[in-house]
Every structure is written in structure tokens, then in C-alpha cells.
Amino acid sequence: MQGTLAKIIISLTALVISNLCIADTQNTPLPAAIQTIMQKPAYQHALWAFYVKDLNSDKVLYQYNGEQMVMPASNTKLFTVSALLDTYGLDYRFKTPVYADGKINKGTLHGNLVLVAKGDLTMGGRRTKDDRIAFTNFDHVDANEIPGATLTKQDPLAGLTQLAKQVKQAGVTRITGHVLVDDRLFETIQKRANIISPIFINDNLLDVSITPNTVGKLANLTWRPHIPQVNVNNHVKTVAKGQGKGIEISTNDDQSEITVTGSIGVDETSIVNVTTIKHPKQFAQYALQQALEKQGIKVLNQGAAALPQASDYQNMKTLAELNSAPLIEYAKLILKVSHNAGANLIPLLLAVKHGETTYDQGMIYLGKYLRDTVKIPANQFVIAEAAGADKNRVTPAATEKLLHYWYNKPKTDFKQFVAALPTLGVDGSLATVEKNSSAKGHVFAKTGTSMGFDTANDNLFLYTKALAGYIQAPNGHWLAFMFTANNVTSPTINDLFGVLADTGAVTTALYESTGETN
């Protein structure tokens, strides 16, 4: 009898422990649909964390490991974009001027023409007629990692064309000096594969698009943005159906020669790959000079020359100025497509606002903003990189605090911030997720993914899958949420897609758990 009683006690204890693993004792247990997903074999060794709050009632609905430090990956962009918007304002516009460093006489500029870069991420290259910034759900910034990336329709050199037209309208038809780009606003650095600089042309990327020809012939190749100083060599072969191996791009040191190799199957539609523009200042100078010449403006000298002192610009004639779309449109670009270069530009813009020039100084201001303005305790976040490096850590509760901070702002600001996030089943990184679910169009959230290769086991491994943002619940309430699954077994790319599908299903379960419309 005692032995049987002991077994019953042990079983009950195990059941209690099991339930505690799924739900925090102080809150409602997670919906059964979510518990079922959490118990899948892929998540056997995963660390799950949830924090969901009803912002209308200020009630925590679900909390499981909500104070646990987890890997946010690109959820980090919520923090960095918030700092940018609060520091500069949602309606801020970059203004990139072009100066005449010399006298103008009878249409001739006797001296240099200087574009002063101001950190404009798009430089008019994504601008639409309705004052927005274009993006595609599988944007070219991820072309080398995600199959199926597509290009925006806008001309990446459109901003430089606009500046060149203004120079022509100012009466300049001839320049005796050089065309220069002043990139001294802040330091130029490399983060991941991205060059972060005060001047950006096409995200500082060259796009290479490949479509098949007939089998045995060279594939069709186009590239952009096109400048005459760069030559692209096509060595991509068209091969039989199902035999394409993809493409590789290599360049020489000054990037005057780009070589594209590989193969594409005759059955494939197209492949888009990118390569980093290694010297953005030089590339922009060439592109601007090309734009000027297309407007009939003759440039007599080419190459490098000394820049004027920054203080001298106040005495120079402004020939042109490129005004950007509102800053909230940049936030939308960064958040919708998880634009790493744009996110890593932010600390440098924060530094400039405080009279500094380095990335590290900008990160210090980011931390100060989160602690002093948003009121997130310092022990609830670790942000070593603005785009979402694996070193970063944050608690779901801290993320909710940031989301709550935006909810308490003026309603117009809150609505714009929500609209800047990917929308479930509609656009951005959530465009293909839960397209047929009840939650479609009601979840606005930033994705976060970090994946690596497990060399010892010859497998892929998912370090984290995270999602954070807002749910507009069936009862009309706004919910702020973050959930993550760290350390997920995902040996193949198809397993990763399965985790993405699970992420969407979790979100739908949260949406449906909040009841019907009142």
C-alpha cells in the first residue's frame, strides 16, 4: 500500500512539474494548441519563453519564462528603430545637398561639385510617387540567403538623376573640376557583409539577375546599378532541367571587374544574387558623374581630389538638394524586410545627433534611450549589435515594455509604428505565414531568426526563432507579445520552414484565445 501511495505521489508530482513547464502558475495556462506545438520532437531541448499582455486592461494574459534572457535575433530591430524614430521624429526627412565649390560663370563651374552625404539609406532609389519607400517581401538584401528574392521596380540611381537635373536647372553645363562625395559625416564600417557609410546607393549592393537561355549556352545576365567603370563578366551556363547549381560572384579589389560563374537550369525562372559595393564613396562619385553627363553637363576632371573644410559649405552655393521620404518609411523598410544594413546604420545616426561619429558611441546612446526613456532596466537587455547579432539578449518582459511604450504614445504615432511592422499573411517577412488563418491581417510583428551549421553532426541548427509585436484581438483589444523558441533541432532547410509555420500557428492560437468581438 505504501509503495502504491508513493508511486501515486511521484506521478502527481511529475504531472505538476510538467504543467509548470508549460504555464506560469500566476497566469492562465497557454492555449492547448500552443502546448501541442511545444511538445513536438523538434522542441525537445528548446527554451520557450512567452509574455503576452492586454494593453487595454493592462493584464498579463500569458507568461512563461517572461523574465528569462533569450536570443531575440532581429527582434532587436524593434529597439533600434524605436530609438531612431524617437531621436529624429517620424516625419524627419534626410536632406542631401550638392554644392558648387567654386565660381559659376556663363554655365561653367570653375571648381568642384560636391555631394555631402547625410546617411540617407535609400538616396531616392526606392522612392515611389506617393512619397513612400518600395520593398519586396523577399527583398534583394537577402538575395544570397533566401531563394526567390525579387527587385523593386524603381531605378536605384533615381535620386542621383534628380540631383543632376537640379544642377542643370541651376544653369551649370560644364564643370572644370571634379565630382566629389563627402562621406565624413560618420565612420564607414563593415557589419556582416554590409558596408555602412554616409552614402548609400542601392543599399551599397550590386544586383545580378540571371535567367536561363537554351541548354549549353550562356545564361542571360543583367545587373544594376550600372556605371561604366564596372565591367561584369558572364560565365553562367544554362544546363538541363533540375541541374542548376546556383551562381557565385567574385570581384577584384577596386571592383572594376566582376565575374559571375555557376549554372542555372533551363526550367528555372530567374536567380537574383548580390555583391557588396566595396567602395561606396567612389561608386557614388562615378554614378553622380554619369547622371550629370546624361543631363548634358560636361565634367572635365575625373578621379579623386581634396574635399573642402566642412565649415566652408556655409559659404558655397547650393546647386541641388535631395529630400527623402519621411523617416517612418525607413522604419517600415527596416522592419518589414529585416534590413540589416539599415538597422546597423541607426547607431551611427544616433551618434551624429549627439555630435559623435562612431558606431560604438551610437550604441551607448541606444542603451541610454532604452534605460532612461523607455524605462527598461539595464539587466533586462544586452545589445551588442543593432541588427540582431547572436550575442544579443533580451527578456520578453522588456520587449513588452517597449511595445507598451509605443501604445502610450499619441494614437497617430502608435498606428504608424504598428503599420511599419510585418503583417501576418499580408506583407514583409510574414507575407506567406498563416495566409488562410483567422489571424491574417490582425497580427503585426517583427520576426527574428538565427541559424547556424552544426559541423559535428553535419546539420543545420536553429539558435532562435522569435516573434514580437501586436495582436488586434477579436474583442477589439490590443495585445503586446513576444515569444521565442531558442535551440531548436532543425537539420534541414525544410525543418526551418516547419518552425516558421509553427510560429504562425502559435500566433493564431494567441489571437483566437482572446475571445469573440464584444
Euclidean distance between CA atoms 399 and 79, whole angstroms: 8
**396/492 same-domain check:** yes
Q: Cα torsion at 502, 504, 510, 43 (round to 10°)?
A: 20
pLDDT, position 7: 40
380 CB neighbour count, 10 Å cutoff: 18
**68/209 same-domain check:** no
**373/500 same-domain check:** yes
**248/377 same-domain check:** no
Distance of CA 170 to the CA centre of its chain: 37
Euclidean distance between CA atoms 288 and 166, whole angstroms: 12
Q: Is the pLDDT assigned to residue 213 strictly greater than 90? A: yes
Is residue 69 domain-resident?
yes
**54/118 same-domain check:** no
Q: Is the pLDDT assigned to residue 80 strictly greater than 80? A: yes
C-beta separation of 132 from 289 below 8 A: no
Helix axes 158-169, 280-294, angle to 10 degrees: 50
Segments forming the whole domain that contains residue 51:
20-88+329-512
Q: Cα torsion at 337, 341, 346, 348 (round to 10°)?
A: -170
* Mean pLDDT of the 463-476 span: 96
Grid cell locating 286 = 562615378
C-alpha count within 13 angstroms, C-beta hemisphere, residue 9: 6
Q: Is the pLDDT assigned to residue 8 strictly greater than 60? A: no
**274/317 same-domain check:** yes
Is residue 104 domain-resident?
yes
Chosen domain end from 266, 300, 324: 324
Chosen domain end from 324, 348, 371: 324
Lowest mean pLDDT among 119-128, 217-226, 492-501: 492-501
**186/262 same-domain check:** yes
Write the pLDDT tens digit of every residue in 83-118: 999 999 999 999 999 999 999 999 999 999 999 999
Grid cell locating 74 = 532581429
Is residue 6 domain-resident?
no
**377/282 same-domain check:** no
Please tell me whether residue 419 adopts helix, strand or coil conformation: helix
pLDDT, position 11: 40
pLDDT, position 201: 98
Q: Is the pLDDT assigned to residue 512 strictly greater than 70? A: yes
**379/434 same-domain check:** yes
**437/374 same-domain check:** yes
**130/201 same-domain check:** yes
Mean pLDDT of the chain: 93
Chosen domain end from 306, 324, 342: 324
Please tell me whether residue 500 adopts helix, strand or coil conformation: helix
Q: HEC states along 218-270?
A: ECEEEEECCCCCCEEEEEEEEECCCCCCEEEEEECCCCCEEEEEEEEECCCCC
Is residue 2 domain-resident?
no
Is residue 13 domain-resident?
no
Grid cell locating 414 = 502608435
Write the pLDDT tens digit of every residue in 123-168: 999 999 999 999 999 999 999 987 889 999 999 999 999 999 999 9
Q: How far apart are the first and last CA of the chain?
A: 54
Grid cell locating 507 = 500566433
C-beta separation of 155 from 227 below 8 A: no
Lowest mean pLDDT among 19-23, 59-63, 208-212: 19-23
* Mean pLDDT of the 363-368 span: 98
Q: Is the dihedral of CA 189, 232, 274, 326 positive or negative?
A: positive
**312/401 same-domain check:** no
Is residue 1 domain-resident?
no
Is residue 12 domain-resident?
no
pLDDT, position 303: 75
Write the pLDDT tens digit of every residue in 366-418: 999 999 999 999 999 999 999 999 999 999 999 999 999 999 999 999 999 99
Residue that is written with C-alpha cell 535551440 in the block: 487
Percentage, residues of the chain above pLDDT 90 = 88
Is residue 194 domain-resident?
yes
Phi, psi of 249 (to 5 degrees): -125, 130
Grid cell locating 390 = 547572436
Model confidence at 517, in pLDDT bands (50, 70, 90)?
A: very low
**In the chain, how many domains are there?**
2
Is the link from the previous residue into 198 a cis peptide, with omega within 30 of 0? no
- Quick one: DSSP state of residue 28? P
pLDDT, position 20: 39
Q: What is the CATH number of the domain that holds 362?
A: 3.40.710.10
- Quick one: DSSP state of residue 420? T
Model confidence at 16, in pLDDT bands (50, 70, 90)?
A: very low
Euclidean distance between CA atoms 421 and 334, whole angstroms: 9
Euclidean distance between CA atoms 121 and 114, whole angstroms: 19
Contacts 24+ apart (CB under 8 A), 37-46: 37/502, 37/505, 37/506, 40/502, 41/489, 42/488, 42/489, 42/490, 42/495, 42/498, 42/499, 43/485, 43/488, 43/489, 44/489, 45/487, 45/489, 46/485, 46/486, 46/487, 46/488, 46/489
